[in-house]
Amino acid sequence: MHEDPQAHVPAQALAPTSTPPAALAPPHSTTTLERGSFCLARCTCGWSGPARRSRDRARTDAEEHRSSPAGARQNA
């Protein structure tokens, strides 16, 4: 008699997760956007940084977001 190896695994263990593991998550791609005298950083994951008068500070916000391990979950 052949036994199915997944027969003893609970159904919730086989269900796909809603969030991909960090290793499979797509990389963050950030840009800066100018609005009048303000500049803000945005990411393809939906994150957006605060409006800054300094373009350099907006770029720093973007770099901090990209290098953060929980970057996708940060939201300003």
- The partner residues of 23 in beta bridges, in order of sequence, read none
Asked if residue 71 lies in contact with residue 65, where contact means CB atoms within 8 angstroms, the answer is yes
Q: How far apart are CA 30 and CA 39, in angstroms?
A: 13
Q: Is 9 helix (H, G, I), strand (E, B) or coil?
A: coil
Q: Does this model's pTM top 0.85? A: no
Helices (H), the chain: 11-14, 55-67
pLDDT, tens digit only, all 76 positions of the chain: 555 555 555 555 555 555 555 555 567 899 999 999 999 999 999 999 999 999 999 999 999 999 886 654 445 4
Q: Is 13 helix (H, G, I), strand (E, B) or coil?
A: helix
